[in-house]
Structure 1
């Protein structure tokens, strides 16, 4: 018998960088019975597949030993709120106090007990606001590991310890002819800046899970169950297979099931993205989460909970978010080697100058050792990535491009294939009359079009509203109130006026035999062009035909052509019918398209295309959420649903496709700047550390003054920031 496996998505507490995610992954993957574990630092979750013989409590203990916490009691919304609140409180103290420290250090001359005042001000910044970094560094030290917090703790800690010694034992330096200078401002500024970045990062990450929450909100809480002639309101959890449920107009369908009785119009846009509601009658299938717009339906429950299409969407989005572990940050990779080397060099420096060099002293060894630690402070290395990203993300925001996380900005430049949803992304997502033909004399126009306007005005159906808009735009119609307009479920509208019978319908088999050859050919041409057909009848004779279409956004063709010239392979994925998708694809110059897709189909196509390619997906509907979550870079239109926006890495505020080209351009500029920053930060350390260690003393007697070491450290950080600020001026 094959072993049964279970898959869980569980929250993880205590991660501070991508190195933490890697550490937890290694810990879990070593455990017996664990098939795979993928930790997502962006969402603070782990997607884990394991044998049903393994207890989650055992895994929790293993993770706990690594210095982190695996939460087994559901989601950690409360802990996320607590984390943000803690960061906000820490920043509230750190930022103003750091500003005072900088002013006193840089702009106020010597005064009595100045160093002691700076020490007192620095203590709460480092050891209350910044305590998380030191705690994490000590955890890593206990496991013989390092991460970005080790860099922060090493740099700021060395600056603080050196300053502390200068404050209470300045003669240790002055007796050797050295200036007794403190570096409290350096330590405080580093802690405050990194806390600010951490706070902004946590805010962005906290919004990610709300996509799942909004998907869950589509689930119905209570339903009306029919038993004989009686109606009983029950909780959705109490529904069983085969139960008959009553769904009224305006309510969401609670289950996937079969319509037993009734006719209605269902808004399925959350599944298909199609803007036109679908008529449902007896014997047809309806899906959970879709909206019953008009009639009353009796539905037989066939799929419940996680088995429904909505349940599958929720599962796919959850797992895609959990499995999309971020790439190891370059700074963390460097840090994993850089920090141990710097610490080793500091020890070697002390030993050489204290035990090996002639005429040496404890003070000389101490100064050179701390010179190494101060000048090697990872300030520039730590600022290299976030400063470039902050400027790049700010520049994108000024152009109406909201980027949820740094990974998305890095990823945009690497896209090789871009999938686009049709409705609301390339097209407007609103039906418009694009073709029409009348079959009556000119002198009947005012009467017949007024009657049609009156009939359609009685309906809130999108097709009816589109025709009303067209009639009001093209004809001077007087207000025409019709006493009674009947709805024909699945057919259209009808009314009686002065002994004449008027109908507004779609095209069905029974109507085709009433058409002339010319009319049939005309309607066929409309269908081939991907139009939705509306027919207006008087006493069984066709008086007018309308072709409606979801029209292109104004610049879609130009934008897509521009993206194709950049080497991107563009393809349309849509839940709409073949002819409508083909028509849009032809209009914008896209050769590849796939129609009639369900949400799972879109996600599968995206996943299959990721082999060897970085794949992007742009969409705007709930039906796009699984594909958005699965793509390497997901782009949502702000004109779409909240769930699409929350699932996506990037939101285009104007819903303008042209912003995708801007996004790619900003990504290229930002990543180039980031790489420059990392290069110069690293080169600075390669050159400066040997000088700080005193290699020039035997050559020409030059020994680096700690003040110069601090200035060099500050200059390296300043150069990184200034280089990042150049991004703002780039076109």
Structure 2
């Protein structure tokens, strides 16, 4: 029989907390054709994989709604939130309750409270009946009993108040929950659904696109499938995928990813994956899986809650029987009210929400930072990390090697022939060093032929082997010599001392070549490591590279890296991780196949997602979607904040319940207050958890800088107290001047300001602007107006001299004289940019934003 499985998303408004999960599981398990499903409590979402030929989406919704779960189908990418306004029952009940207060002026109006009860109790009673049919006790049953008890005691006003407060607070809770989970919900439904074939212009479903298909992508469109640019150039907004705030330039042979936006230009893209294997599709799958995994704390609370409610019901019933058993008739009404208060307090919803909502908000915040955590348990573990171990190549360093020297050691083999053999074999490897050797060959017009390689084998931590044209070729570090059967390795004097990585080539057992590769530490690596150190985290480097190269990298980082272990095989890294775990929970950060065993052994494995190997991504508990390791301390802070919020939430939930019960035993058994405390505490827990989202645009902070849909930056608002433009760096808006009279900054502040400009610009453009990389300064002042572009670009170049002046002068002993010169240099360019900005306003309003970016560069 033919099967047609599909994944469907359902919004289930009646999913209050994890106590409803068994009910949903029971319903879905009873349906034919349901292959798999997951229930995500914080987002009130149910994801079902089902055979649409046997069970349709409508049938699933009908089955869920028979239990009064208020389910509806979520359209792909839609936000079907239907509870924007309170239900008519709540509105009418509230109006009648309000009018009943007029009983003090006209006595018969007190009977309107009964009308408020009758109208408002309808949805509560229907849900309570559905729960009883499934042999479950939930808050609806408890509230129904409390209302019935109040009516039996002829306290109609209290019963009406309970009904109204419960229905309106339940709506408020649903609204708050929707806001708290909107960020993560959008991540799951972001994958593009349509693609356009370049040769015919036909539009097809993205999941029908095959490998190596050429697609057309116009300006403003989302790239539908991962691929490589075949023709054209453009700027792409990768903010959603990697967290990169500013557009990234793409040209022929550049890699592009699905769901990123083509801001300008027309490109054709040759697909390198199918829709379900795209980076964004894998990311969405990780998000779904993460939502489903419970933390250790949550599992403990769920276990407690399983026995908490039945125990409270028994205690409540016992209190109600006291007047009958002990004949305390004078306090009969008090005991009945007391039992009702205790009964309502038996709802564990606030306690059950205390952990998942906080964790969900933290997962959302981390995802917006470009850090995907594969489950709440991993986030919980991350908060307790004491040691962080880093791989060197591609993690601390850029992993963008350049061949600094290459020498052939055999006269009977031409240089190009040797290079051809090496590049052909290396082109079958994904290691960054391999890419450098292949590029080196192509620059010298030597085109590799991987198809001619007969045998190929990787030796992790050592190198690779291949057979080509009847030659046994070994390429790697000094350890590869033993594989080749050679007892000695040739030497290149000076390169180890300079920190470059030395590689060797063997033909059989004979040395055939030697080369050295240079790499540099990532911009921001030092800052990230220093921040981790300030948080009390021990930092360690684990690398397979030589001692000299590792030590050189440590020196570049200025001592921010505490311990270095070099010349390690994968099993050595794993062994050291286990030793470090004796000092406390340990995390490993890596990007390659060599790091997979260490990633798996660590308490938390963090892999470099987009740039890392597939095995590292699969093994890691956390995936870093960009190469910026500064996101790691940010993720650590999010995890620690989530842990604090969970503790606060549990205290709020328990203390509020205890206070209401304590008040009742003290002689004030207010049933309506118990209901209000229950739903009110749910709201408090949700809102307290939402504080984790602070810093994400749209959650309490205005986003004043970003990229527009047409490749221009949005108008920058006056975000800081100086009202001189938008910048995350306050001193930038005031200038990098160190003259205290002019700017109020000391020399050290001026120095740090200049460095901060450098870092901010790198985040904005993806390039480095340090003193050592003047040539890589981007065309940050690109604009449609040619005259403006020329003038701003000149100022950008001139300002680079100022930055060098500031940085260099601050490191000299006689910095006072140098600093004075730096300040004078800055003052000249600061005044020059004003003319530029005036011109932008006059000539091209759309270029104003670019000019303001230039102003940051100059200042």
TM-score range, shorter chain: 0.5 to 0.7
Corresponding residue for residue 558 of structure 1: 530
User: Which residue, out of 222, 228, 232, partners 2:196?
Assistant: 222
What's the CA shift string for 1:569-627, capped at 9, x where partnerless? 9999xxxxxx99x9699945688443358xxx99x998x679xx5x5869897999999
Aligned partners of 1:570 and 1:193: how far apart in 2? 52
Partner-residue secondary structure (3-state), 1:214: coil
Aligned partners of 1:520 and 1:669: how far apart in 2? 54
Aligned partners of 1:294 and 1:524: how far apart in 2? 46
Evaluate the alpha carbon distance shift between residue 337 and residue 278 of structure 1 in structure 2; reply closer, same or farther with a 3 A threshold.
Answer: same
Corresponding residue for residue 320 of structure 1: 289
Corresponding residue for residue 79 of structure 1: 80
- Does the 8 Å contact 1:137/1:150 carry over to 2? yes
Evaluate the alpha carbon distance shift between residue 220 and residue 339 of structure 1 in structure 2; reply closer, same or farther with a 3 A threshold.
Answer: closer
Alignment of 1:110-149 (within 5 A): 112=104, 128=120, 133=124, 135-149=126-140
User: Which residue, out of 582, 594, 612, partners 2:590?
Assistant: 594
User: Which residue, out of 149, 172, 179, partners 1:203?
Assistant: 179
1:28 aligns with 2:28: yes
Aligned partners of 1:246 and 1:722: how far apart in 2? 49
1:165 aligns with 2:155: yes
Evaluate the alpha carbon distance shift between residue 374 and residue 71 of structure 1 in structure 2; reply closer, same or farther with a 3 A threshold.
Answer: closer
Shift of 1:688: 8.2
- Does the 8 Å contact 1:224/1:247 carry over to 2? yes
User: Which residue, out of 203, 212, 215, partners 1:235?
Assistant: 203
For normalisation by structure 1, the TM-score amounts to 0.52
Evaluate the alpha carbon distance shift between residue 28 and residue 564 of structure 1 in structure 2; reply closer, same or farther with a 3 A threshold.
Answer: farther
- Does the 8 Å contact 1:353/1:360 carry over to 2? yes
Evaluate the alpha carbon distance shift between residue 223 and residue 202 of structure 1 in structure 2; reply closer, same or farther with a 3 A threshold.
Answer: same
Partner-residue secondary structure (3-state), 1:37: strand
Corresponding residue for residue 40 of structure 2: 40
Evaluate the alpha carbon distance shift between residue 340 and residue 549 of structure 1 in structure 2; reply closer, same or farther with a 3 A threshold.
Answer: closer
Evaluate the alpha carbon distance shift between residue 184 and residue 375 of structure 1 in structure 2; reply closer, same or farther with a 3 A threshold.
Answer: farther
Corresponding residue for residue 439 of structure 1: none
Shift of 1:661: 5.0
- Does the 8 Å contact 1:134/1:153 carry over to 2? yes
Shift of 1:147: 2.6
Shift of 1:77: 3.3
Partner-residue secondary structure (3-state), 2:344: coil
Alignment of 1:569-608 (within 5 A): 587=557, 588=561, 592-595=588-591
Shift of 1:552: 1.3
Shift of 1:235: 0.9
Evaluate the alpha carbon distance shift between residue 559 and residue 715 of structure 1 in structure 2; reply closer, same or farther with a 3 A threshold.
Answer: same
Evaluate the alpha carbon distance shift between residue 153 and residue 677 of structure 1 in structure 2; reply closer, same or farther with a 3 A threshold.
Answer: farther
Alignment of 1:373-522 (within 5 A): 373-378=340-345, 412-415=379-382, 510=443
Shift of 1:673: 3.8
Shift of 1:162: 6.5
Partner-residue secondary structure (3-state), 1:353: helix
Partner-residue secondary structure (3-state), 1:8: strand
Aligned partners of 2:171 and 2:205: how far apart in 1? 44
Evaluate the alpha carbon distance shift between residue 391 and residue 224 of structure 1 in structure 2; reply closer, same or farther with a 3 A threshold.
Answer: closer
1:368 aligns with 2:335: yes
- Consecutive unaligned residues of structure 1, counting only runs of 5 or more, are 168-181, 226-231, 437-489, 492-505, 514-518, 530-545, 573-578, 641-651, 693-703
Corresponding residue for residue 19 of structure 1: 19
Partner-residue secondary structure (3-state), 1:23: helix
Evaluate the alpha carbon distance shift between residue 632 and residue 705 of structure 1 in structure 2; reply closer, same or farther with a 3 A threshold.
Answer: farther
Corresponding residue for residue 647 of structure 2: 672
Evaluate the alpha carbon distance shift between residue 162 and residue 53 of structure 1 in structure 2; reply closer, same or farther with a 3 A threshold.
Answer: same
What's the CA shift string for 1:448-470, capped at 9, x where partnerless? xxxxxxxxxxxxxxxxxxxxxxx
Corresponding residue for residue 645 of structure 1: none
Partner-residue secondary structure (3-state), 2:201: strand
Shift of 1:20: 1.4
What's the CA shift string for 1:395-432, capped at 9, x where partnerless? 9999xx9999xx99998544356999999x9989999x
- Does the 8 Å contact 2:166/2:679 carry over to 1? no
- Does the 8 Å contact 2:77/2:190 carry over to 1? no
- Does the 8 Å contact 2:657/2:677 carry over to 1? no
- Does the 8 Å contact 2:215/2:268 carry over to 1? yes
Corresponding residue for residue 498 of structure 1: none
What's the CA shift string for 1:636-687, capped at 9, x where partnerless? 99x99xxxxxxxxxxx9xx775554544444444333444455556767888
Aligned partners of 1:296 and 1:724: how far apart in 2? 45
- Does the 8 Å contact 2:7/2:48 carry over to 1? yes
Evaluate the alpha carbon distance shift between residue 88 and residue 565 of structure 1 in structure 2; reply closer, same or farther with a 3 A threshold.
Answer: farther
User: Which residue, out of 310, 316, 323, partners 1:353?
Assistant: 323
More strand by share: 1
Shift of 1:303: 5.4
- Consecutive unaligned residues of structure 2, counting only runs of 5 or more, are 405-434, 447-491, 503-517, 544-548, 565-572, 574-587, 692-859
Corresponding residue for residue 456 of structure 1: none
Evaluate the alpha carbon distance shift between residue 556 and residue 60 of structure 1 in structure 2; reply closer, same or farther with a 3 A threshold.
Answer: same
**Once superposed, what is the RMSD of the aligned Cα atoms?**
7.4
Aligned partners of 1:410 and 1:383: how far apart in 2? 20
- Does the 8 Å contact 2:231/2:267 carry over to 1? yes
Shift of 1:556: 1.1
Partner-residue secondary structure (3-state), 1:224: coil
- Does the 8 Å contact 2:61/2:71 carry over to 1? yes
Partner-residue secondary structure (3-state), 1:39: strand
- Does the 8 Å contact 2:341/2:671 carry over to 1? yes
- Does the 8 Å contact 1:396/1:403 carry over to 2? no
How many aligned residue pairs are there?
Answer: 562
Shift of 1:203: 1.7
Evaluate the alpha carbon distance shift between residue 521 and residue 392 of structure 1 in structure 2; reply closer, same or farther with a 3 A threshold.
Answer: closer
What's the CA shift string for 1:223-265, capped at 9, x where partnerless? 431xxxxxx4221349875987475896876556788x76879
Shift of 1:138: 3.5
Evaluate the alpha carbon distance shift between residue 93 and residue 234 of structure 1 in structure 2; reply closer, same or farther with a 3 A threshold.
Answer: same
Aligned partners of 2:272 and 2:369: how far apart in 1? 41
Evaluate the alpha carbon distance shift between residue 222 and residue 402 of structure 1 in structure 2; reply closer, same or farther with a 3 A threshold.
Answer: closer
Partner-residue secondary structure (3-state), 2:176: helix
Evaluate the alpha carbon distance shift between residue 659 and residue 379 of structure 1 in structure 2; reply closer, same or farther with a 3 A threshold.
Answer: farther
Shift of 1:551: 0.5
Aligned partners of 1:617 and 1:631: how far apart in 2? 5
Evaluate the alpha carbon distance shift between residue 95 and residue 394 of structure 1 in structure 2; reply closer, same or farther with a 3 A threshold.
Answer: farther
Evaluate the alpha carbon distance shift between residue 336 and residue 120 of structure 1 in structure 2; reply closer, same or farther with a 3 A threshold.
Answer: farther
Partner-residue secondary structure (3-state), 1:145: coil
- Does the 8 Å contact 2:291/2:360 carry over to 1? no
Aligned partners of 1:375 and 1:707: how far apart in 2? 9
Shift of 1:211: 1.5
